[in-house]
Amino acid sequence: MKYLRYGPPGEERPGLLDGDGFIRDLGGVFADLAGDCLDPSRLSDLTTGDIALLPRVEGDVRLGSCVVGTRHFIGIGLNYADHAAETGMPIPSEPIVFNKAPSCIGGPNDPIPVPPGAFKVDWEVELALVIGRRAWQVSEAQALDYLAGYCICNDVSERAWQLEGTGQWLKGKSAPGFGPLGPWLVTPDEIPDPLSLGLTLEVNGETMQSGSTATMIFGPAYLVSYLSRFMALEPGDVITTGTPPGVGMARGRFLKPGDQVRAAVAGLGEQANAVV
């Protein structure tokens, strides 16, 4: 199932994408795609009903982030062997963990603003995991049972703020609009092997990134289990799992107002963002 949120910023309603590509409203079923509504058992209940009975949303609508109420937005650095190689960094022996401020989350097609003083804004197409139930001290074998689903994240980064000066990743990862999520939250039954997904990112129609989750160093199940050793993951928390090679920092090229960014992950749809 592909879940989504639609409507103006701050007024989004929950919905799903039916088999014909139409949005169906879920406002009469869920308050929002947050908290207990993200429990995998609740999401799976809808698959037994008649989706055609849900109200169809007519016309063009804005898509918001596919989850709300995120308290922990956790990133994993250098998690693709080929990306580590392009940076000249050694392959990590354990996950490199950082935070993005949840206030950076935006819709999949919202503009990406260049903040005042920023001059090295970079792109990173990633597979993101959305937690569906509280995960604390879970085993790798059970970890994927705690997922509500998967979505696309563009882990937008300001590299000077991230790596220069005191080099704090949180500063470079957290500006408003630096975390587009969606378009959909795709339930795990539709993604039987999250380690075989193609990822691509284009800037102004030119392919910058083209890779596969097969080159991940630490897979989704390991990451959920690993993080749950140190913190309790709550429904709505997001783990964005790293990026393949081709980032702007490696190319000596960064985003500027007027650029158009398109990010896609197989089975999860695509994002299209204007840089402003």
Site of tokens 């800037």: 203
pTM equals 0.96
Residue 270 is predicted with a pLDDT of 98
Same domain for 255 and 177, yes or no, is yes
Residue 44 is predicted with a pLDDT of 81
27-33, long-range: CB < 8 A, 24+ apart: 28/54, 28/55, 29/54, 32/5, 32/68, 32/69, 33/3, 33/4, 33/5, 33/66, 33/67, 33/68, 33/185
Same domain for 143 and 260, yes or no, is yes
Same domain for 12 and 119, yes or no, is no
**153 and 180 Cβ atoms separated by less than 8 Å:** yes
Same domain for 14 and 97, yes or no, is no
Q: In which residue ranges of the chain is pLDDT below 50?
A: none
Residue in 203, 191, 175 with CA at minimum distance from that of residue 271: 203
Q: How far, in Å, CA of 158 to CA of 104, rounded?
A: 13
Same domain for 37 and 144, yes or no, is no
Residue 93 is predicted with a pLDDT of 94
Same domain for 85 and 25, yes or no, is no
Residue 211 is predicted with a pLDDT of 96
Q: How many domains does the chain have?
A: 2
Q: How far, in Å, CA of 130 to CA of 2, rounded?
A: 13
Same domain for 130 and 243, yes or no, is yes
Burial annotation 32-62 (CB, 10 A radius, 16+ → b, else e): bbbeebbbbeebeebeeeebeebeebeeeee
60 token code pair: 């063009």
Same domain for 172 and 48, yes or no, is no
Residue 181 is predicted with a pLDDT of 98
243 token code pair: 């990026």
Q: What is the pLDDT of residues 126-168, one digit of tens each?
A: 999 999 999 999 999 999 999 999 999 999 999 999 999 888 9
In a domain, 163, yes or no: yes
What is the domain range of residue 31? 2-53
What is the share, in percent, of the chain residues with pLDDT greater than 70? 99
Residue 48 is predicted with a pLDDT of 62
Residue 52 is predicted with a pLDDT of 87
Residue 84 is predicted with a pLDDT of 78
